[in-house]
């Protein structure tokens, strides 16, 4: 729907409805270069359906009179529309009417004194600032830092596993090759979630509902404005019931086997260690390989070792650092070694 705009009389200042070509107060004719506007202080006046016009006026190139789009010649001087300067340029943005004043006077809120408001703002910011500072300090504190120390001594420990060939009792859900089943039993292997029942629960659900319209007025460039209504929504909350599944743990049974199997198994360790830079394996007459083992036969198993250096840090404290065998071998007394520790700790990470 279209509503009427207005023009202002350049002589007496009267606000005149756009469809009137002369000022009703002083008789002054509408100016050639008139600019229409919406007067939101006046009641909205709707244009009759048969008078609605959505085409902008055109400007006469000779007398600059505004003419309706359907006019082929200027209503003032008779010049042709084809010689027009162009169309009336309407406002680029729709006009939003000012809200109507509340008939009931609102009590004016007393403004807090400036110092009081500043203190309130400072109090509101103190806790977040303290928390942020605490997080930054903690992050700085726990961040690893690099330190350096001088190698003053070495140490090592090496182990040779001792394996014995025998019959061993084991169990599992499957019997490996070579195993002889002694017994079996149905036992709980795992648990699965099984639907037990449903519980009725209630939750609040947000819903958007229409809450009237926002109205704007688009300048049609001929004294009329098109009323543009945009629906306005608000969020409301309503209770909604739903069914929530409740599960129970149900055991899953399977057959567990208890079996005997002939195999090599580590039963002992041959250990050597010293605080020097010359690691040695324990002396043993056990073979590394037995082709046709008999019950009770023994052999050498896996070999493993731990290697470390003792360093003196910049505070004169001694620290023990583990290193791989290759790196450990390449170090010598007096070498500088880097390591990481916390900012206020001497212990290596």
Q: Are 213 and 229 in contact (CB under 8 A)?
A: yes
Are 75 and 66 in contact by the 8 Å Cβ rule? The answer is no
H-helix or E-strand spanning residue 86: strand 86-87
CA distance 257 to 182: 8
Across 110-137, average pLDDT: 73
**pLDDT per residue as tens digits for the range 67-100:** 888 899 998 888 988 888 788 877 776 767 766 5
> Residue 264 CB: number of other CB atoms within 10 A?
17
Residue corresponding to tokens 């543009």 = 228
Closest CA to 47 of 270, 295, 195, 224: 224
Distance, CA of 213 to CA of 177 (rounded, Å):
81
**Is residue 348's pLDDT more than 80?**
no
Between 58-62, 117-121, 316-320, the lowest mean confidence (pLDDT) is in 117-121
Place 112 in a pLDDT band, splitting at 50, 70 and 90: very low
Which of 82-96, 123-137, 236-250, 285-299 has the least mean pLDDT?
Answer: 82-96
Alpha carbon distance 56, 58 (integer Å): 7
Assess whether pLDDT exceeds 70 at residue 212.
yes
Decide if pLDDT at 15 tops 50. yes
What the block records as the tokens of 238 is: 């309503």
Query: Helical H runs in 18-100?
Result: none
The closest of 144, 145, 147 to 337, measured between CA atoms, is 147
pLDDT digits (tens, 9 = 90+) for 282-300: 999 999 999 999 999 999 9
Q: What is the largest CA-CA distance in the chain?
A: 131
Query: What are the pLDDT digits (tens) for 177-203?
Result: 999 999 999 999 999 999 999 999 999
The sign one gets for the Cα dihedral 160, 163, 169, 172 is: positive
Beta bridge partners of 196: none
Contact 223, 91 (CB under 8 A): no
Give the confidence band of 344 by pLDDT, cuts at 50, 70, 90. low
Confidence band for 101, pLDDT divided at 50, 70 and 90: low
């Amino acid at each position: 729907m279209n509503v009427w705009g207005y023009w202002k009389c350049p002589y007496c200042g009267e606000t005149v409805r756009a469809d009137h070509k002369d000022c009703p107060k002083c008789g002054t004719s509408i100016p050639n270069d008139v600019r229409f506007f919406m007067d939101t202080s006046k009641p909205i006046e709707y244009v009759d359906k048969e008078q609605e016009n959505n085409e902008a006026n055109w400007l006469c190139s000779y007398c600059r009179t505004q003419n309706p789009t359907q006019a082929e010649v200027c209503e003032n001087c008779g010049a042709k529309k084809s010689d027009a300067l162009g169309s009336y340029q309407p406002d680029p943005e729709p006009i939003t009417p000012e809200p109507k004043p509340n008939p009931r006077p609102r009590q004016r809120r007393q403004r807090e004194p400036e110092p009081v408001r500043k203190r309130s703002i400072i109090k509101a910011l103190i806790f977040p600032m303290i928390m942020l500072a605490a997080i930054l300090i903690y992050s700085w504190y726990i961040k690893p830092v690099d330190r350096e120390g001088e190698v003053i001594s070495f140490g090592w420990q090496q182990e040779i596993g001792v394996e014995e060939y025998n019959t061993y009792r084991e169990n599992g859900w499957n019997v490996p090759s070579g195993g002889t089943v002694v017994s079996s039993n149905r036992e709980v292997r795992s648990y699965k979630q099984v639907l037990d029942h449903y519980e009725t629960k209630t939750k609040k659900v947000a819903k958007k509902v229409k809450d009237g319209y926002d109205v704007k007025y688009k300048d049609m460039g001929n004294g009329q404005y098109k009323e543009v209504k945009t629906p306005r929504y608000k969020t409301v909350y309503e209770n909604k019931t739903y069914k929530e599944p409740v599960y129970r743990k149900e055991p899953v049974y399977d057959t567990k086997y208890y079996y005997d199997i002939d195999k090599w198994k580590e039963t002992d360790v041959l250990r050597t260690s010293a605080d020097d830079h010359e690691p040695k394996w324990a002396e043993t007459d056990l073979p590394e390989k037995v082709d046709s083992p008999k019950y009770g036969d023994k052999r050498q198993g896996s070999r493993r070792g731990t290697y470390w250096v003792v360093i003196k840090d910049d505070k004169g404290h001694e620290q023990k650092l583990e290193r791989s065998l290759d790196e450990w071998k390449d170090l010598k007394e007096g070498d500088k070694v880097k390591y990481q520790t916390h900012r206020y700790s001497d212990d290596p990470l």
